[in-house]
Amino acid sequence: MSKFKIAKQIVNNNENCRNGCGFGCLIYFLSGAISSLICFIIEHINLSTNVVLCLEYIISALVWIIIILSIMIYSKFKLFKELHLTFCYEKSEWYQQTKADLSELLDKGVYGEYLVFKKLSKRFKKLDENAKVYTSVIIPLGNDNFAEIDMLIVSKFGIHVCEVKNRVGTITGNIRDKTLSVQAGNEVYEMENPFYQNSIHMNYIRTLLYNHLDNSDFIVKKLYDNSFCNTIIHNDSLVFQNNFYNGGLYENWANLSFSNINKYTHGGIYLTKDEQKEISKVIERLPQYTYAQKQAKIKIREQKYNNGEFKENNNYTIGYFSFNNCQQHLYTIEKSNDTITTYYCPFDGWFRTFPDAECNKVCRRTMRFDQAFDYYQKSIRKNG
């Protein structure tokens, strides 16, 4: 199949039903409304019957001309999209990062990510000309396991870790649970919690940057001052209940305005141009995979996961810890496994990574979170 035919099919699959029908109906009803209004005015003006009939024929003809011209304009608009995909796709930043063949965009999920990437890039370039948007960022974890971030944005506003959700329904549950419930009509199903996913991804990115950046105070300090933003990008058919809205930044991909972005820069901390450049260098040194290679890696990971090879064995340590770059000393819970070590944050309930942390005193160790958290809460109540 030629590139143009693939592009034509992509546009038809994703635009025709949604935009074409809506556009056609809008023009039809507007034309009908205008025609009815003019006819109403004519009937209330003292004109001869022949003149009225003549005017009605002219109005009907004009309405059909408007409809036909509108269809032609929309068709040309579609043609422009088809030609743009055919000749410009392989020059796009999306293609340079993913190496996804044009035919992959026939998948609506992939096409949705493509559109979101384009909109994110355009929007953030307006907010910050030095901003960089990365898609499908893969962080190796060993033994064919890896973490994949849908979209990662580095700008003066910080580091936005984005999860893209193309779902329908109302989401309920606890913001820190691994899964959430989605009700779509009479159907209820479970989905991975995007906030939980992003919290893990932010920990991996923070550790990666700590290990590979020049360990200078000016940039490391910012990594601990919450320069990360947990960002969920969703379609307009997905609704989060109100109890989720303090968890991060929400954006509907229909507009991606980021009008509240300053709210999430945490104390007015901004990354400089040089800091953005250094962070981007680390991210760009991560392994790059084509779309086909990534799908193969996902398949291998799923097989190993189903075989129980990626079972997470966590160890919990309750004690007193020093966080040097934050200049904090805290009684808290350390959670460690084969891939990462994180610490319970009593201010918001999330586990965060602090690679420079040091244990000053161990109070208890266990492999069960419920035991660790119960001991922690009891000791907090006991000691005030």
161-171 mean pLDDT:
80
Residue 5 has pLDDT above 60, yes or no: yes
For 284-341, how does the pLDDT look when each residue is reduced to its tens digit (9 = 90+)? 999 988 888 888 999 999 999 888 888 878 999 999 999 876 667 889 999 999 889 9
Is pLDDT above 60 for 74? no
The answer, yes or no, to whether residue 85 has pLDDT greater than 80, is no
Give the pLDDT confidence score for residue 17 in this predicted structure: 43
Bridge-partner residues for 358, per DSSP?
A: 322
Query: 282 vs 211, which has greater pLDDT?
Result: 282
Mean pLDDT of 331-359: 89
Choose the most confident range, by mean pLDDT, from 99-103, 236-240, 314-318. 314-318
- Enumerate residues 6+ apart whose C-beta is below 8 A from 158: 227, 228, 229, 264, 265, 266, 269, 270, 271
* Per-residue pLDDT at 130 exceeds 50: yes
Q: Which of 161, 193, 168, 202 is nearest to 183 (CA)?
A: 168
Dmax over Cα atoms in the chain, in whole Å? 101
pTM, to two decimals: 0.75
Query: Among 142-146, 218-222, 332-336, which is the least confidently predicted range?
Result: 218-222
Name, in order, each residue with C-beta under 8 angstroms of 170's C-beta and a sequence gap of 6 or more. 182, 183, 184, 239, 241
Strand blocks (E) in the chain: 132-142, 145-155, 158-165, 169-172, 179-184, 187-192, 228-234, 238-240, 249-252, 315-323, 328-336, 341-344, 351-352, 357-366
Once rounded to an integer, what is the mean pLDDT over residues 110-127?
84
**Of 282, 274, 156, nearest to 213 (Cα)?**
282
201-215 pLDDT, tens digit per residue, is 989 998 888 888 875
Q: 337, 314 in Cβ contact below 8 A?
A: yes
What does pLDDT average to over the chain?
A: 78
The Cα-based distances of 245 to 4, 118, 240 in angstroms read 43, 25, 8
Does residue 250 carry a pLDDT above 70? Answer: no
Q: Is the pLDDT of residue 148 over 70?
A: yes
Q: Please name which of 188, 159, 119, 105 lies closest in space to residue 275, comparing C-alpha atoms.
A: 159
Q: What is the pLDDT of residue 18?
A: 47
**pLDDT of 185 strictly over 80:** yes
Give the integer Cα–Cα distance in Å for 205 and 252: 24
Give residue 16's pLDDT: 47
Residues 169-192: b if buried by 16+ CB within 10 A, e if exposed = bebebebeeeebebeeeeeeeeee
C-alpha 219/C-alpha 160 separation (Å) is: 16
Give me the pLDDT at residue 109, please.
73
- Number of other CB atoms surrounding residue 56 within 10 Å: 15
Q: Are 316 and 365 in contact (CB under 8 A)?
A: yes
What does the radius of gyration of the chain's CA atoms come to, in whole angstroms? 27
Q: Residues 363-382: pLDDT tens digits?
A: 999 999 999 999 999 999 88
Residue 280 has pLDDT above 80, yes or no: yes
Q: What percent of the chain has pLDDT over 70?
A: 65
* Over residues 95-101, mean pLDDT: 86
The CA-based angle 156-157-160, given to 5 degrees, is 115
Stretch 122-142: mean pLDDT, rounded?
89
Regarding beta strands 228-234 and 179-184, do their DSSP bridges make them parallel or antiparallel, or are they unpaired? Answer: unpaired
| Nearest of 274, 375, 257 to residue 316 by alpha carbon | 375
